[in-house]
A and B are shown apart, each in its own frame.
Chain A
Amino acid sequence: MTTSHPTPDAAPSGDRPQLGIAVPPWRRAAEGAVLGGVAAGLAVRLGVRISVVRVLWLLTVLVGGLGLVAYMAAWVLVVRRGEDEAIARRVLAEARDRRAVGAAAVVVGVSLVAVAAATHRVAVGTLWPVLPSALGGLLVWRGASSEERRGLQTSIAVPVVRVAGSRGWGARALRVGVGAAAVVVGLNVLASSNQTIGTRFGPVGQSSLTGALIGLVVMGAGLLILLTPWWVQTVRELAEERRARHRAQARADVADHLHDSVLQMLALIQRSAEDPAEVTRLARKTERELRVWLFGESPPDGETFASRVRALQREVEDDYAVRVEVVTVGDQPLDEGLAAMLGAAREAVTNAAKWSGAPEINVYAEVSATEATLYVRDRGRGFDPGAVGADHHGVAHSIIERLTRVGGEAHVRSSPGEGTEVALELHRGAP
């Protein structure tokens, strides 16, 4: 085991020792790792087969548990290939992690001391390697790089979850078998150590206390294995139930909305069946509202030019039983000139709705930072511009004057029977 912090690796290093290069520094393997890649990394470092390292390591784990502690220490202290910091260093750099690990270390230390005090000797055997290793596990959990985390997920978490969550008979039998065996073994160990504790007075024997602890841990693990699938299932069902509730909520929202807008409106339409104009108006209004709701067209109250044109459409359609087809290209925030243009446009659309007799009015608005144009066109009865008095229809005042005041132009083109088009143009200054 090593206690030094290897420096970042500058020399090129493959997965095998290379000729002409001093022994490469020990790195934990990033690929082919079962847990931390310690054994694989060591095999590369020593130039021996990985299976040899693994078998030797397993033996040291089984005999006295030294290997376990060594493994965890190496995991935490040796840099992973492709990274430039060991886990321990990364954890120590983070204040919050430092506190958590410090607290855990204190707990581990106190536990070891307590056991030693209770048994009048330094705890050896099975217990002592487990606690420091757990501390190492905590360090890994806090400090592993996201890439290593992903690797661990696929090598450990995924198979565990697959077996734990699987509903296949094989997985279920394996689960129940292992779980039940663990519980039985744990209970046995616990019972036998209880007997030893019960038959003795004075200092409790070290073997009986560790035995009890081990029994508890094994039994707990067994219970965990038995109960996890049930718990996973419950969590899943809860999530499913929540989704169903959300769906029901969404349905209720839709129903609410349809009731408020569509059903109400249909009732109104039935009552005004004798008045075609009113029916058209109501139907159009509902359609518009529903469209905003369904397709998320921008709400009519925004303060941009295009949204105000749509607001104008809404008002005129509400007031007069006509369709106003609006096409807008581009959009700009409202300013004085555009506001004046909108005023003129309102006048033009209202005139068309009132006088043209056409069922549909086309509004086309194009706006950029430098220019704005707006056309209001109907295919109604039209009129002879020459024959109209200067103030008739409000054309002269409201439309042309409004636009000339802000430096724009307005043209009215119409002939009897051909419909009318009002063209509004505005050259805008630099934005």
Chain B
Amino acid sequence: MFLVDDHELIRAGIRAALGEAAEIVGEADEVDAAIAMILERRPDVVLLDVHLPGGGGRAILESVRARDPGIAFLALSVSDAPEDVISLVRAGARGYVTKTIAAADLAEAVRAVAQGEVVFSPRLAGFVLDAFRDLPAGTSTDPELDSLTPRERQVLRLIARGFSYRDVGVELGVAVKTVESHVSSVLRKLQLSSRHELSHWAHERRLL
């Protein structure tokens, strides 16, 4: 994996936290260097700080994914502000964790993203539920993309309550794989939906 953060202390902390769990192939503390090195070393996962000088994590994410969509991104931030979370995920991040995450959970999240899974923190689940709430009938251009199925809502609620994917599976009596596919589907909707709340968040950050 590859580590992008502008604070040496945070990078050291992440290295220590991940320990043997992940092989770190490089680190960068600014946008241009990060893009060049990521494209050169092709890591499975990029752990990406949202707030970077010179364009932010989003700039890296977009230019790397434009040239190599195979590299997965896991966003990392101290900010739990909805517009940060939503904009990164809409730009293509496969998950979002905050810097206060426990070491074991971070390692697990990196592993999950490396295997193509999606990492939803309780916070992110809450934001998605909030954004997809109460859509008045008939205002949507694409109902399939603009609303969640009852099952997806159920899964998201459990995640927001602090359930792991495994716990969600046990709770609903389905396999972990099923839970993961629900979450992937939610992520797809989050990235593609034109829902007002989502574009509104994006718009506030001048992303559209």
Q: Is A425 in contact with chain B by the CB < 8 A criterion?
A: no
Query: Would you list which residues of chain B between 42 and 89 have a CB under 8 Å from chain A?
Result: 79-81
Q: Which chain B residues border A379 with CB–CB below 8 Å?
A: 162
Main SS of chain A's interface residues? strand
Most buried by A among B80, B100, B123, B126: B126
**Using an 8 Å CB-CB cutoff, how does the interface string of B119-144 with A read, 1 for contact, 0 for none?**
00011011001100110000000000
Known: A329-B130, A330-B130. A364 touches B81 (CB 8 A): no
The contact of B133 among A294, A329, A377, by CB within 8 Å, is: A329
Contacts of A188 in B (CB 8 A): none
The minimal Cβ–Cβ distance linking A289 to chain B, given in whole angstroms, is 14
Closest to B83 in A: A295
| With A329-B130, A329-B133, A330-B133 as contacts: A364 and B79 at CB distance below 8 Å | no
Q: How far is the CB of B150 from chain A (nearest CB, A)?
A: 14
Instruction: Give chain B residues whose Cβ lies under 8 Å from the Cβ of A323.
Output: 100
A291-B80, A295-B81, A327-B122 as given contacts; A364 in contact with B162, CB under 8 Å: yes
Contact (Cβ within 8 A) A329 B161: no
Contact, CB under 8 Å: B160 / A327 = yes
Is B126 touching A328 in the complex (CB atoms < 8 A)? yes
* B residues 147-170 touching A (CB-CB < 8 Å): 157, 160-163
Residues from 89 to 108 in A contacting B, C-beta threshold 8 Å? none
Chain A residues whose CB sits within 8 angstroms of the CB of B123 once the complex forms: 325, 327
Chain A residues whose CB sits within 8 angstroms of the CB of B100 once the complex forms: 287, 323
Instruction: Please give the distance in Å from A226's CB to the nearest CB on chain B.
Output: 44
Residue of B nearest to A296 (CB): B81
Find chain A residues with CB under 8 A from B134 CB: 368
Tell me whether A362 is interfacial, beta carbon within 8 Å: yes
Q: Does A421 have its Cβ within 8 Å of any Cβ on chain B?
A: yes
Is A366 interfacial (CB-CB < 8 Å)?
Answer: yes
* Contact assessment for B80 and A329 in the assembled complex, using a CB-CB cutoff below 8 Å: no
A421 touches B80 (CB 8 A): no
A305 touches B (CB below 8 Å): no
Q: How many residues of chain B are within 8 Å of chain A by beta carbon?
A: 18
Interface majority SS (helix, strand, loop, mixed), chain B: loop
A327 touches B133 (CB 8 A): no
Proximity bits, A320-337, B CB within 8 Å = 1, else 0: 000101011110000000
Q: Known: A295-B80, A366-B157, A368-B134. Is A329-B162 also a contact (CB below 8 A)? A: no
Q: Does B122 contact A329, Cβ atoms closer than 8 Å?
A: no
Bound: A179/B177 CA distance, A: 83
Query: Shortest Cβ distance from A155 into chain B, in angstroms?
Result: 33
Interface bin, chain A:
20 to 34
**A329 touching B126 by the CB < 8 A rule?**
yes
CB of B24, distance to nearest CB on chain A (Å): 26
Q: When chains A and B are docked, how far (Å) is the Cα of A142 from the Cα of B37? A: 62
Q: Which residues of B contact A364 (CB under 8 A)?
A: 122, 126, 157, 160-162
Which residues in B have their C-beta under 8 angstroms from that of A297? 81
Q: Is A375 positioned at the interface, with any CB of B under 8 Å from its CB?
A: yes
**How far apart are the CA atoms of A300 and B199 in the complex, in Å?**
28
Quick check: B122 and A325 within 8 Å, CB to CB?
yes
Residue with the greatest number of chain B CB neighbours at <10 A, chosen from A294, A297, A329, A421: A329
Min CB gap A383→B, angstroms? 18
Contact pattern, A 118-153, Cβ under 8 Å of B = 1, otherwise 0:
000000000000000000000000000000000000
By beta carbon, the residue of chain B nearest A362 is B162
Q: Which of A262-280 contact B (CB under 8 A)?
A: none
Instruction: State the CA gap A83–B161 with chains docked (Å).
Output: 63
Q: Which residues of the partner chain A approach B102 to less than 8 Å between Cβ atoms?
A: 360
Q: Among A297, A330, A360, A366, which residue has the most Cβ atoms of chain B within 10 A?
A: A366
* A356-380 CB contacts (< 8 Å) to partner B: 360, 362, 364, 366, 368, 375, 377, 379
Q: How far is the CA of A29 from the CA of B95 in the complex (A)?
A: 61
Contact A421 B161 (CB under 8 A): yes
Interface residues of A in 338-366 (CB under 8 A from B): 360, 362, 364, 366
A362 close to B122 (CB less than 8 A): yes
* Distance to closest chain A CB from B29 (angstroms): 21
Q: Which residues of B lie under 8 Å from residue A362 when comparing CB positions? A: 122, 161-162
Q: What distance in Å separates the Cβ of A271 from its nearest Cβ neighbour in chain B?
A: 22
Minimum distance in angstroms from B173 CB to a CB of chain A: 16
Interface set of B (CB-CB < 8 Å, partner A): 79-81, 100, 102, 122-123, 125-126, 129-130, 133-134, 157, 160-163
